[in-house]
Amino acid sequence: MSCCAPGAEMALDLVGPASILPSSQEVRLASRSLGDDLHQTDLSVPMVHCGACIQTIETALGKLDRVEAARVNLSTKRVSVQWRGGEVPPLVAVLGRLGYQAHLFEADTDAKDKTLSELIRAVAVAGFAAGNIMLLSVSVWSGADGATRDLFHWVSALIAIPALAFAGGIFFRSAWNALRHGRMNMDVPIAVGVSLAYAMSLYETITHGDHAYFDASVSLLFFLLIGRTLDHVMRERARTAVKSLSQLAARGAMVLRGDGARDYLPVGEIEPEMQLLIAAGERIPVDGKIARGTSDVDCSLVSGESTPRSVAPEDTVQAGVLNLTGSLTIEATAAAKDSFLAEMVRLMEAAEGGRAHYRRIADRVSALYAPVVHLTAFVTFLGWMVATGDWHRAMTIAIAVLIITCPCALGLAVPIVQVVAARRLFEHGIMVKDGSAMERLAAVDMAVFDKTGTLTLGQPRLVNASSIDAAMLAIAADLAAHSRHPYSKAISGFAVSSSQHKFDAVTEHPGFGIEATAAGSIWRLGRRGWAGWKARTGREGKHGYGGTVLTKNGMIVASFVFEDALRVDTKVAIDQLHNAGMRVEMLSGDTAKACAEVADVLSVDDFVPCLLPSGKVERIESLSRDGHKVLMVGDGLNDTPALSAAHVSIAPATAADIGRNAADFVFLRESLLAVPLAMNVSRNAGNLIRQNIAIAIVYNAVAVPIAILGQVTPLIAAIAMSASSLLVIGNAMRLRSSMPGSLAKEVRPSKRSEINELAQSS
Amino acid sequence: MTTLVYLIPVALFLGALGLSGFLWALRSGQYEDLDGAAERILIDSDEGAENATRSK
């Protein structure tokens, strides 16, 4: 990192995702052509966070050959580079040298967010109209009459037309959509109220009447649009942040043709029986059978198995498996659309659980609210008709009822609470897909966790380092630095590599281990059966045939014990969930023994080992049939169907892309405390939403009788509406200042770092 | 009354000017990187100009 130096973690701090650099062919595949031999590549660089970063990156990339322009967007943490020519400039490598990790992401076809700019334009137009009409209305209320009042009314009517047509269009379209499908949403009473108010005011203006509601109808639109825009911004920010994470699926593969030619093809064009070349460190793109080569593969994302598996010719491998040590030639046995990944997508679609039927609180309330309001207005009209026989007066009063009950507070109350809650979660590195996810999370009573990659990091940790001779550990670390096998990484990460041992000819034997010669003796680090060939006939050792050892000339000098490292704060997080009255269960594809150890340490209530992806879904479905609302937390490809079967789901940032897309929440930091925190914030938000709805109902209980009695003038309507909106906004803001509940204490210590983060990111 | 005849158009015109200014800023991409704009002001201008585009 070139600037702002150590510990400069921002809100978007990533938990070290698999650090595989995208190859230049992948970059080429992800770039889009701007015509005239010009290409644009968008890279996500989550570590950018200050002016110096911008300058370093733009200067370094700008100096590269064939690069036309490089521009950093600090808000989205992206760099877009325009380059010419056939070959891709070494963008990712240059960024890596500067200390910035860069990821490719799905290139957007329509780069700009059309909905957001439409909403902001609508807010601007409605704000302009509301301001000016309010100004004219104030003069009318202060006593303008006769020709002046008529003039003001006419001017207001003219200003309101573009506002209704442009800003109101959003509500009219949505209301029409809902009605056409026989549903009722918040936009129906809004559309009806606003358009009737305008029509009635226009009639008043033409007949020189003294009450016009232009100000009410336009400022109503303005307030509601603010709520709508905030809601959209929240969802959009979470979506971009999740999209910017590194892509874990392979984008393409090197295909070996019969005549020896090599082509880099996108995954979609790979067909069965093609020969694919998979280098060490690459992910396998489609299901296949190994033709040549041996290696170790990491299946944790696919099956949940935490120990790497060694593979040899004739073994089958599934799409999504990571090739660790040796290069492999595989023969594809299925096209991408028939591969394991696609199978997961099908299961996922079949498993659409409670969320498909879930209706948001606001929609449920408005389904009751709208008919009641419209009925009240209609009865008022009939009542005044019968009482006075004056249809004009009856109509005016009925419309005043509609205006006063327009769900301004409701339309603003729910999104504001959710935006404030989402902001809180965002500061703690948790992304929320949408508001309904928070409402669903507040209702869960049972949490189900995946093991590998979720409760544990899926990365082995050396546990017996203290009992190993330090000199031997150093030798092992030097050897291990030559390999990318997870065990090697664990060893080299544990011991400080001294680099004082001069090894000649270090070779890696995929599936077995590393061999090196130094000063006439042969050192081997790897499987017991291979490295300790002299000891093989003797005992198998306490850790069995498969344990990892360091040998000198065939004699075992040190043996290593690994354990899957637990995610940070896992125990605390599970205790907090227990305290919150939740049952915690663990579902895993790993062996019963591995599961039992973890379950024991974490005091998980129950666990089910050796599950297939469909088994996880069945388990969740049977729990939901028993009346539980299940929260699923998982990261692997094999968890994806379960993530979408659950009532609500959370995934870590290290999850497979498809899992991240299926989950409602994504947390970016390593700590599992994100889960109870998200729960707590969601529950608080749920309480505030219910309070706000109660406030809105009380307001109506007071205002509606006044309106029915015909006492509401445009002035009273304007005051009542603004007051109720301010009240619910103020109530929503309480979520920011105070966090009632047990978690407040745990959150406080991080306050300082949170402030630093804010200072850095703004 | 006569003053209103020109005062109201003047007021509306000024308001509309502000509105169109905002819409123009929105369209020309000035709201796309608010954080970046705040930081870029700290980059030295001559160097910044060189970085922004380098044509060959």
Could you tell me the sign of the dihedral formed by the alpha carbons of A642, A647, A652, A657, in that order? Answer: positive
Q: What is the mean pLDDT of residues A423-427?
A: 82
A149: domain range? 114-240+361-419+682-761
CA distance A370 to A325: 64
CA distances from A184 to A187, A241, A378 (A): 8, 32, 18
CA A590 to chain CA centroid, nearest Å: 26
3-state helix/strand/coil string of A175-190: HHHHHHCCCCCCHHHH
Question: Coil, helix or strand for A193?
Answer: helix
Distance from CA of A83 to the nearest CA of B (A): 11
- Return the amino acid letter for A30: A
Residues in chain B within 8 Å Cβ distance of A50: 39
Which of A63, A74, A128 is opposite residue B15, by nearest beta carbon? A128
CA A160 to chain CA centroid, nearest Å: 39
| Residue B41 domain-assigned (yes or no) | yes
Q: What is the mean pLDDT of residues A159-173?
A: 90
Distance from CA of B8 to the nearest CA of A (A): 9
| Residue B15 domain-assigned (yes or no) | no
Same domain assignment for residues A686 and A654: no
If pLDDT is split at 50, 70 and 90, which confidence band does A244 have? low
> With 50 as the cut, is the pLDDT of residue A398 above it?
yes
Q: Which residue has 């280098």 as its token pair?
A: A279
CA distance A329 to A319: 14
| Residue B51 domain-assigned (yes or no) | yes
CA distances from A298 to A318, A435, A601 (A): 11, 36, 25
Name which residue leads in pLDDT, A722 or A757. A722
| Residue B43 domain-assigned (yes or no) | yes
Same domain assignment for residues A228 and A136: yes
Query: What pLDDT does residue A720 have?
Result: 83
> With 80 as the cut, is the pLDDT of residue A120 above it?
yes
A150: its two tokens:
């008529």
CA distance A753 to A245: 23
- Cα–Cα nearest to A217, from A298, A138, A157: A157
CA distance A437 to A723: 29
Q: What is the CATH number of the domain that holds A294?
A: 2.70.150.10
Same domain assignment for residues A59 and A189: no
Same domain assignment for residues A68 and A133: no
Q: Specify burial of residue A603 (Cβ count, 10 A radius: 0-12, 13-18, 19+).
A: exposed
B46: domain range? 21-56
If pLDDT is split at 50, 70 and 90, which confidence band does A753 have? very low
Same domain assignment for residues A233 and A305: no
Q: What is the mean pLDDT of residues B31-35?
A: 78
Q: What is the mean pLDDT of residues A180-206?
A: 85
A411: its two tokens:
């339309």
Question: Coil, helix or strand for A444?
Answer: coil
Residues in chain B within 8 Å Cβ distance of A58: 51-52
Query: What pLDDT does residue A606 have?
Result: 87
Q: Which residue has 């002016």 as its token pair?
A: A51
| Residue A424 domain-assigned (yes or no) | no
Partners of B22 in the β-ladder: none
List the single range of A545-549, A567-571, A627-631, A673-677 with lowest mean pLDDT: A545-549
Query: What pLDDT does residue A411 have?
Result: 73
Same domain assignment for residues A207 and A256: no
User: What whole-number percentage of chain A has pLDDT above 70?
Assistant: 85
Same domain assignment for residues A474 and A447: no
If pLDDT is split at 50, 70 and 90, which confidence band does A21 have? low
For A432-464, how does the pLDDT look when each residue is reduced to its tens digit (9 = 90+)?
877 788 888 998 999 999 888 788 887 777 877
- Return the amino acid letter for A721: M
Average model confidence (pLDDT) across chain A = 79
| Residue B12 domain-assigned (yes or no) | no
* Residue of chain A minimizing CA distance to B51: A59
Cβ atoms of A479 and A560 closer than 8 Å: no
Cβ atoms of A57 and A99 closer than 8 Å: no
Name which residue leads in pLDDT, A229 or A530. A229
Cβ atoms of A718 and A406 closer than 8 Å: no
Which of B23, B40, B53 is opposite residue A124, by nearest beta carbon? B23
Residues in chain B within 8 Å Cβ distance of A73: 32-33, 36
If pLDDT is split at 50, 70 and 90, which confidence band does A650 have? very high
Residues 362-401 of A with CB under 8 A from B: none
Distance from CA of B1 to the nearest CA of A (A): 7
- Return the amino acid letter for A178: A
> With 60 as the cut, is the pLDDT of residue A540 above it?
no
- Cα–Cα nearest to A34, from A113, A117, A107, A114: A107
- Long-range residue pairs from B19-24, CB within 8 A, at least 24 positions apart, any chain: B19/A124, B19/A125, B19/A128, B22/A124, B23/A121, B23/A124
Which of A541, A560, A579 is at the close of a domain? Answer: A560
For A360-388, how does the pLDDT look when each residue is reduced to its tens digit (9 = 90+)?
777 777 778 778 888 899 999 999 999 98
If pLDDT is split at 50, 70 and 90, which confidence band does A741 have? very low
Q: Specify burial of residue A732 (Cβ count, 10 A radius: 0-12, 13-18, 19+).
A: buried
> Is any Cβ of chain B less than 8 angstroms from the Cβ of A118?
no
CB B54 to CB A68 under 8 A? yes
Residues in chain A within 8 Å Cβ distance of B38: 762
> With 70 as the cut, is the pLDDT of residue A148 above it?
yes
Q: Which residue has 């990484």 as its token pair?
A: A489
Same domain assignment for residues A226 and A366: yes
Same domain assignment for residues A480 and A553: yes
Q: What is the mean pLDDT of residues A162-185?
A: 86
Report chain B residues touching chain A, CB-CB < 8 A: 1, 4, 8, 11-12, 15-16, 18-19, 22-23, 26, 31-36, 38-43, 47-48, 50-55
ipTM surpassing 0.85: no
Could you tell me the sign of the dihedral formed by the alpha carbons of A443, A445, A448, A449, in that order? Answer: positive
Q: How many folded domains does chain B comprise?
A: 1
Catalytic machinery residues of A: 450
Cβ atoms of A53 and A98 closer than 8 Å: no
| Residue B46 domain-assigned (yes or no) | yes
Among the ranges A110-124, A467-481, A540-554, A575-589, which has the highest mean pLDDT value? A575-589
CA distance A98 to A94: 6
A393: its two tokens:
């007066």
For A333-370, how does the pLDDT look when each residue is reduced to its tens digit (9 = 90+)?
888 777 777 777 777 766 665 565 677 777 777 778 77
> With 80 as the cut, is the pLDDT of residue A160 above it?
yes
Distance from CA of B51 to the nearest CA of A (A): 5
Query: What pLDDT does residue A591 have?
Result: 80
If pLDDT is split at 50, 70 and 90, which confidence band does A501 have? low
Q: What is the mean pLDDT of residues A409-418?
A: 78
> With 70 as the cut, is the pLDDT of residue A110 above it?
no
| Residue B49 domain-assigned (yes or no) | yes
Which of A637, A668, A699 is at the close of a domain? Answer: A668
Query: What pLDDT does residue A3 have?
Result: 46
> With 60 as the cut, is the pLDDT of residue A523 above it?
yes
CA distance A327 to A568: 33
- Cα–Cα nearest to B54, from A239, A238, A484, A82: A82
Distance from CA of A131 to the nearest CA of B (A): 9
Q: Which residue has 């948001």 as its token pair?
A: A360
Could you tell me the sign of the dihedral formed by the alpha carbons of A365, A368, A373, A376, in that order? Answer: negative
Residues in chain A within 8 Å Cβ distance of B54: 62-63, 67-69
If one counts every other C-beta atom within 10 angstroms of the C-beta of residue A420, the result is: 21
CA distance A295 to A327: 7
DSSP secondary-structure letter at A283? B
CA distance A248 to A711: 64
Same domain assignment for residues A444 and A367: no
Taking one residue from A and the other from B, the number of pairs with CB-CB distance under 8 angstroms is: 75
Residues in chain B within 8 Å Cβ distance of A55: 43, 47-48, 51
- Cα–Cα nearest to A466, from A555, A335, A558: A558
| Residue A673 domain-assigned (yes or no) | no
- Return the amino acid letter for A261: A
List the single range of A52-66, A727-741, B39-53 with lowest mean pLDDT: B39-53
Q: What is the CATH number of the domain that holds A624?
A: 3.40.50.1000
Q: How many folded domains does chain A comprise?
A: 5
Same domain assignment for residues A299 and A398: no
- Cα–Cα nearest to A163, from A195, A115, A187, A188: A195
3-state helix/strand/coil string of A524-592: EEEEHHHHCCCCCCCCCCCCCCCCEEEEECCEEEEEECEEEEECCCHHHHHHHHHHCCCEEEEECCCCH
Instruction: Give the pairing of strands A648-652 and A630-633.
Output: parallel
Query: What pLDDT does residue B51 have?
Result: 46
Query: What pLDDT does residue A2 have?
Result: 42
> With 70 as the cut, is the pLDDT of residue A748 above it?
no
| Residue B1 domain-assigned (yes or no) | no
If pLDDT is split at 50, 70 and 90, which confidence band does A502 have? low
What burial letters (b/e) apply to A391-404, b meaning 16+ CB within 10 Å? Answer: eeebbbbbbbbbbb
Query: What pLDDT does residue A250 have?
Result: 62
> Is any Cβ of chain B less than 8 angstroms from the Cβ of A696?
no
